[in-house]
Amino acid sequence: MTEPYTFDYCPWLFWDHATDEDRRAQELHQAGLRERTGLDAAGKVFLSPLAAVHTDRLRMGDFCYIAAHAYVTDDVSMGEDCTVNPYAVVRGRVELGNAVRIGAHTSLLGFNHGTAPDRPVFRQPITSEGIRIGNDVWIGSNVVVLDGVTIGDHAIIGAGSVVTKDVPAWAMVAGNPARPLRDRRTPRPATALSPAGGGGDLEGRLAAFAGRAREQAEAVLARCWTGDRYVDRPGAQPTVRAWCDAVEIADLLLGGPPPTPARDEIVAFLRDRQDPGTGLVPELGAPGSPEAGDAGRPELEGVTAYHVLCVGYALDLLGTAFQHPVHAVHDLRSQDLTALLDGLDWTREAWTSGSVVDAIGTGLYRNLADFGLRGDVETLYGWLLTRVRRTHGMWGEPDAGSGWLMVVNGFYRLTRGTFAQFGMPLPYPERAVDTVLAQARDPRYFGPGAGNACNVLDVIHPLWLLGRQTPHRRAEGEAWAREHLGRALGGWHDGAGLSFALTGGSGAARTPGLQGTEMWLAIIWLLADYLGLSDALGYRPRGIHRPEPAIQYPA
């Protein structure tokens, strides 16, 4: 249960945590605003009842919010993912692009008074040139932006600035009056992006990293395009996942599908991979794939299980969906599902077992969202809630060889496809945090010469997800996140992206590729968001690693 006024001051929590009653109250509030403010809102917006909204026209795109005690008047237009935080003022003619962040106590003043000496200022005529703000702009707290100013795409305005002149795209400015500091696309000195994380403010380093990645995104994708297929890295075999990673990277950094090939070709390729009998997506050339004809059907395991996630979400990002339901999941009767889950090797293979649960949960979601097929979600959750270990909040047990690795990694996969994807609270969150932090301290996986994308993701996603339920040991988690964020930001290879492993050297895991780039972009966002700094990146995962539930259950 949320505290009173939580959503008013923390509106970003509304879409994940609002009850049906909260949503009905918000719908009624918006209905009243439409009558008197010219509100034209998309389906997912939040306006705090504590905000003073007195507009002639107010347009809001998806995932926009106006927080408590904001003062909004006149003619305001907001694209998607725009935020007006507590006590901000937005007045006059103000146009916001997409992904604009307006900090608390900031004022955008899209009007002015005359200054002629013939009458008091308050009797002077009001003029309005308007304020125009581009896409992916971060405006810090206690900023003042004056009438007539245009702020270009990807700019950052430092806290406390007074902006009196236009700000070019990619500029980072601060001061009174605001002056240029540098271009976001220009890397800081080596110390600012070093694996040790020394030097520079973290927000600036995040912004510089994201700018560098956006600038080189097309080159990263082109490097892995053979002319007819995507591969993870030059010389690798074509895979289904490589196509999906390309779609995710392009959506994050370019705001759309990959430049090559055409969107319709990507859609056709991915949709045609699906086996109509099972609804699963086998690997290229594997049994059940178009290349292999009728040479058997794929099983719900390994890469085939992962394709339920990556292909489904890639098609989401491309604005379409699977051709067929995931029959392999929908056709499981209650007793069959229970037997399948009981038959998994939770003692020695908790990670593999968690990945199967992830695929089952995602298959249930796909069938419900795309085909209206209500599967046996209750049996799945009943099994999970009765099998979770009360002592450590997870499924499975550690072993002498790998410690908590398999259990924590399996916890990430399992909870991603179930509790996170369906917007359900986790059982025993404090005990689960203890277990994740125990794994995070294991030098075999997180020491100076160790670290890869899976292991870091399998710690930060649980910390991030559990952190929405409990503040338990938050300071320890943030210290770990800050350390590994510093390491991750130093891993970018110009024109090639990020490798799966953090450490240098040769081999597939240490060669930059699509998988490493896709995973680390999401990991860096999660690390930054856990620290409250993700706005500096200017991107937000919308696919496999999306922070919002894909669906609220009960649906």
Q: Are residues 244 and 358 in the same domain?
A: yes
Q: Say if 508 falls within a structural domain.
A: yes
Classify residue 312: in a domain, yes or no. yes
Note the pLDDT of residue 555: 53
Could you tell me the CA-to-CA distances from 134 to 77, 107, 137, 149 in Å, in that order? 12, 17, 7, 11
Q: Is residue 543 part of a domain?
A: no
The confidence score (pLDDT) of residue 288 equals 65
Q: Please compute the mean of the pLDDT values over residues 187-199 and round it to a whole number.
A: 39
Give the model confidence (pLDDT) of 383-420 as tens digits: 999 999 999 999 999 988 899 999 999 999 999 999 99
* Cα 24 from Cα 216, distance rounded (Å): 44
Asked, for residue 550, whether it belongs to a domain, the answer is: no
Residue 398 token pair: 């550690």
- Reported confidence tier of residue 123, pLDDT bands at 50, 70, 90: confident
Q: Residue 290 has what pLDDT?
A: 67
Quick: pLDDT tens for 280-312.
999 997 766 665 555 455 678 888 889 999 999
Domain count, the chain: 2
Give the domain CATH number at 362: 1.50.10
pLDDT for 277 beyond 70: yes
Q: Is residue 118 part of a domain?
A: yes
At 408 the pLDDT is 97
- The residues facing 182 across adjacent strands are 172
> How are strands ordered across the β-sheet holding 156-157?
45-47, 64-66, 83-84, 100-102, 137-139, 156-157, 171-174, 179-183
Residues 134 and 214 in one domain: no
Q: Average per-residue pLDDT in the chain?
A: 91
Quote the percentage of the chain above a pLDDT of 70. 94
Categorize the per-residue pLDDT at 118 as very low, low, confident or very high, splitting at 50, 70 and 90.
confident
The terminus-to-terminus CA distance of the chain in angstroms comes to 19
Q: How far apart are CA 110 and CA 147, in angstroms?
A: 4
Name the domain boundary from 156, 183, 210: 183
What is the distance between the alpha carbons of residues 440 and 445, in angstroms, rounded to a whole number?
Answer: 8
Helix, strand, coil percent values for the chain (each to nearest 5): 45, 15, 40
Assigned domain for 545 exists: no
Res. 116: pLDDT tops 70: yes
pLDDT for 365-377, tens place per residue? 999 999 999 899 9
Same domain, 272 and 148: no
Pick the last residue of a domain from 118, 153, 183.
183
Pairwise pLDDT comparison (37 vs 196), residue with the higher score: 37
As a whole number, mean pLDDT of residues 334-341 equals 95
**Span 489-516, mean pLDDT?**
89
Q: Are 172 and 186 in contact (CB under 8 A)?
A: no
Count CB-CB contacts under 10 A for residue 309.
26
Q: How confident is the model at residue 4 (pLDDT cuts 50, 70, 90)?
A: confident
CATH number of the domain that residue 59 is part of: 2.160.10.10
Rounded to the nearest 10 degrees, what angle do helices 514-530 and 474-489 cross at?
Answer: 140
Last-in-domain residue among 150, 183, 216: 183
Lowest-confidence region among 33-42, 182-191, 224-233, 490-499: 182-191
Alpha carbon separation from 173 to 94, 104, 152, 155 (Å, rounded): 20, 18, 12, 8
* d(C-alpha 378, C-alpha 393), whole Å: 20
Q: Which pLDDT band, with edges at 50, 70 and 90, does 182 fall under? A: confident
Residue 187 pLDDT > 90: no
Q: Domain range spanning residue 66?
A: 6-183
Say if 552 falls within a structural domain: no
Note whether 462 and 411 are within 8 A (CB): yes
Residues 78 and 21 in one domain: yes
The answer to whether position 51 is within a domain reads yes
Q: Are residues 179 and 205 in the same domain?
A: no
Q: Let me know whether 533 and 385 are in one domain.
A: yes
- The 3-state secondary structure of 30-78 reads HHHHHHHHCEEECCCEEECCCCEEEEEEEEECCCEEECCCCEEEEEEEE
What is the value of pTM for the model shown? 0.67
- Is the domain of 11 the same as that of 98? yes
Looking at residues 422-439, what average pLDDT do you find? 96
DSSP state of 417: I
| 229 and 169 within one domain | no
Going by C-alpha positions, the residue among 353, 427, 361 that lies closest to residue 397 is 353
Residues 123 and 234 in one domain: no
Based on the fold, state whether residues 92 and 205 are members of the same structural domain. Answer: no
Give residue 104's identity as a one-letter amino acid code: A
Q: Are residues 324 and 419 located together in one domain of the fold?
A: yes
Residues 161 and 249 grouped into a single domain = no
- Note the pLDDT of residue 543: 95
